[in-house]
Structure 1
């Protein structure tokens, strides 16, 4: 193989024409002498002798090879020059074409941009128009929303102001009632103070007189009888005891004044209870109601009255004193109570019930006295049902002569709880207390307070109530009011006793003579505003608890 001599180790050769003497064999380090056409190798003398001397190798002298190839290279020089000339011309053409292309394509690019700019411009204008419309519509909607919002806020202010006015008016009325009580007490105490001060001043004057007359015997003898008489007169008045007794009565009267508030039938009520019941008015039940029986409160101002002869049902308004027939010849109503401002629930007695269910013995009416729907409970014997509504708006129902009391959800008419009394049966009215307990009539003159689990908590009874009584509860205070007959003095007097939940009779509050028109004892009712409504068989008597000294 041909290679250059290594530096510093070159062999000095005889220079020949056209031959680079530094060109040596890689294998032997000797100058190249031949070219082997067979193998295409440049070889030295030793390579030629040892490896390329036999056929088919054909060796050419290196000088001839160099000369021949140089000649061929030189012969190509004009072609190279011509090619260089052509390439320079081609390079110019390329540059010219590039410049032309650049210019032309830039023009095309400019035209494209101009064209699409013109196309985008209306799109942008359309977008601006649409956004403008959207903004205008949004502004209009916002304006309408704001107007609606402002109207709703204004309406809200108006409605809440109405509510505030009602609350303020109620507060003002209660404060006015409290102020009247305060003025009565203040005037009475002022009178007592003046009376006491008058006695104190009189005693001081007597003391001064005694001091004066003691200074001279003559004066003492002459004026002592009058002074002694004055002392005896003041001592006989016993002002100290009278004032003390009066103060004690005032304290007891004030102690009986209470602010009461709460919800009944979904409505909020508040009031000031005084210390004494006073008759406000009496309302005659018209003669077209042959045998009037009072069955319950329909609202704060309305009493349900039923004719015992034909079961026609009436409503008497205690404000207007007007009595209106609402149901013709219906079934016997045992009890009725407002569930809320829209619905009234009635318990009934139906003799046409068969099977194992009491259908139509509990009925819901709307305020137009139209049947809303009936609620069914299990039937066990008697077909008379009494009802009430508890603090949570649940219906409490019981069947006469049975031990079960049912708690019914009026939302779906389902019985959510069944309370069973042990050893006792329902004999009439049931009343819900705000504590959740229930007052059940368990005898003609006995009432039992039971818990929701059926536990007996108290038995309420009095020998004075005789053979028949009726009980109703003040829903705001849980005070029981027992109506019973007092047959003293050959008259039949209806008395109302105020009784606590533990059975203690607190007071005999009112009495009225029973009429011959209806001999059925009707219960009294306490309206949420604190009025007591009693019925003597002919008239409704409306009492109000006022403050009296």
Structure 2
């Protein structure tokens, strides 16, 4: 092995220092100056070592001066790349801080919007309470004792109702803020992980640079440790960690900017939620439909958590609550419901099928029900065509008006539910209704026209046609808050039901084909496989 020369004793000859160096380096075995480097054994040797132990092939010897010069040259060549990588790491620190600040600011704006919106709602409830109390007080002044007693009871009831409304609004606000906070925490955690990853590489490069400085001071250390250090430098230079971190930050920025707070009224009730991002749909729960619902078929939503299910075999009508998972019969036989929608918190409109239509008016194909499913009013529309069997589809637009259409016809009627009068007739040139009709918040209407969907304006103008050759039994439903269309269809080749994959049903597959994937006002999807309702919720992912 090579080592430094021993300390010079009296009478010994001084070794000449090698060219370009300020210290000597000798062989531990022979005490001779290091002259060569054996490539085969990867060790520095003196002249006797070269002659005695390394003279036979395949030992390949290099002059030690050349080896030292080459090792220094190799390290010097790496310095610019190291410095360039250090600059990139420093730039990423700024980008990380900018992305974190931008994301936090954007999400804080979302939180502020949510709080401002719900503050206005709570304030509106308070104003409503004050108006009612004023009316109650005016009535109470007419009959002192009896009215005062009545007033006290009504005020107590009013306060209870308003407090219940406030609590509902606060609960909704807390839920949405919780979802927003969950997104914020997810973003913060991801950015923290990226920062740690970047800092680890910075520390590694700093250690490499420190090591270079250390081993460059001694030839022996330089020769022995440089190969391993060079391999480490090459590994870190080719890792592309800085680019991966940068790309991930760009993706986070893009996903955060998608997040938004959406709000609006559906069926006379206010809804708000976090939306806008792509996310991922996760199955939350599955609700079994009792077998007593003979050949069940989903007809539509009457609230955020209530779904109408029709028994095709016995024509009974049921409502399934996806929160309580309870199914209750609401109409006993004889009714073919095609579609339903809430007008407000008290009234539901239903479209129906009838096989006894003979007059020039369709009576009993549109019915208003109260929340106890008692008939509130029947609405009549013109009967077109000579068919005895008539099908009518309905929905409710942004103004609370009913839109209704007879199948195999081109007219869509806009109806005032308060008096049942037709206020407008929309005609689609060259197309007919062949399924559900749905109102968008923009005022446009989505109509099933065969195996495709057509978007029309209130003047009947065709604005878009949505179709796909691979669709089989397509069913479209509209997200009333965002106007997003969800189309479920039967993929015959893969034998699955899309948008979401449903489990194989033991009941008639026909009902599964024609049942839509519903969209609740709170933004969840409800699929049906002929046996169970499946509730899906969208989650934010990075």
Q: Same fold (TM over 0.5)?
A: yes
Please identify, of 225-234 and 449-458, the stretch whose mean Cα deviation from structure 2 is larger: 225-234
Q: Is the 8 A contact 1:447 1:459 kept in 2?
A: yes
When residues 248 and 535 of structure 1 are mapped into structure 2, their CA distance, relative to the original with a 3 A threshold, is farther
User: Closer, same or farther in 2 for the Cα pair 1:322/1:165, shift >3 Å?
Assistant: closer
Q: CA deviation at 1:145?
A: 9.4
Alignment of 1:73-112 (within 5 A): none
CA contact (8 A) 1:365 1:371 kept: yes
What does residue 200 of structure 1 align with?
Answer: 202
Q: Is the 8 A contact 1:518 1:538 kept in 2?
A: no
Query: Within 2, Cα distance between the matches of 1:245 and 1:473?
Result: 34
**Aligned-partner Cα distance in 2 for 1:144–1:527:** 46
Q: Secondary structure of the equivalent of 2:179? A: helix
Match of 2:467 among 452, 461, 469: 461
Distance in 2 between residues matched to 1:269 and 1:234, nearest whole Å? 51
* Deviation by residue 1:436-482 (Cα, 9 ceiling, x = unmatched): 111111112x11111111111111122332x4211111111111111
The offset of 1:147, in angstroms, is: 9.8
2:255 to 253, 256, 263: 253
Cα offset, 1:208, TM superposition: 1.4
Does 1:537 pair with 2:537? Answer: no
Query: Would you say how many aligned residue pairs link Structure 1 and Structure 2?
Result: 394
In the alignment, which of 388, 394, 406 is matched to residue 399 of structure 1? 406
Q: CA shift at 1:187, angstroms?
A: 1.0
Tell me, in whole angstroms, the C-alpha distance in 2 between the residues paired with 1:314 and 1:531: 21
The answer for the alignment partner of 2:501 in structure 1 is: 511
Superposition TM-score, scaled by structure 1 size: 0.67
Number of the residue aligned with 1:92: none
Write the deviation string for residues 383-433 of structure 1: whole angstroms up to 9, x where unpaired: 100000111111100000000000111111011111111010001110001
Distance (Å, rounded) in 2 between the aligned partners of 1:288 and 1:163: 36
Where do 5+ consecutive residues of structure 1 fail to align?
1-138, 497-509
CA distance in 2, matches of 1:142, 1:371: 40
Which structure has more relative contact order (CA 8 Å, sep 6+)? It is 2
Residue 494 (structure 1) aligned with residue 497 (structure 2)? yes
Give the conservation status (yes or no) of the 8 Å contact 2:317–2:335: no
Q: Is the 8 A contact 1:492 1:514 kept in 2?
A: no
User: Separation in 1 of the partners of 2:491 and 2:208?
Assistant: 55
Post-superposition offset of 1:292: 1.4
Q: Distance in 2 between matches of 1:514 and 1:209?
A: 64
SS in 1 for 2:470: helix
1:479 aligns with 2:469: no
Structure 1 residue 335 displacement after superposition: 0.6
* CA–CA distance in structure 2, aligned partners of residues 197 and 158 of structure 1: 57
CA separation of 1:250/1:515 partners in 2, compared to 1, >3 Å: closer, same or farther?
farther
Superposition pairs of residues 19-98 of structure 1, within 5 angstroms: none
Residue 353 in 1 paired to residue 357 in 2?
yes
Q: Does 2:246 match 1:244?
A: yes
Question: What SS does structure 1 have at the residue aligned with 2:314?
Answer: coil
- Give me the whole-angstrom Cα distance separating, in 1, the residues matched to 2:423 and 2:142: 53
Gaps of 5+ in 2: 1-140
CA–CA separation in structure 2 for the residues paired with 1:299 and 1:145: 37
Deviating above 6 A after TM superposition, structure 1's stretches of 4 or more consecutive aligned residues are 139-158
Are the aligned partners of 1:493 and 1:512 in contact in 2 as well (CA < 8 Å)?
yes
1:182 maps to 184
The structure-2 alpha-carbon separation of the partners of 1:164 and 1:456, relative to structure 1 and needing over 3 Å to count, comes to: same
**How many Å separate the matches in 1 of 2:149 and 2:196?**
66
In structure 2, the CA distance between the partners of 1:143 and 1:379, relative to structure 1 (3 Å rule), is closer
Equivalent runs, 1:285-304 vs 2, <5 Å: 285-304=289-308
Q: CA deviation at 1:518?
A: 2.9
**How large is the RMSD of aligned CA atoms in angstroms?**
2.6
Structure 1 residue 247 displacement after superposition:
2.4
TM-score by length of 2: 0.68
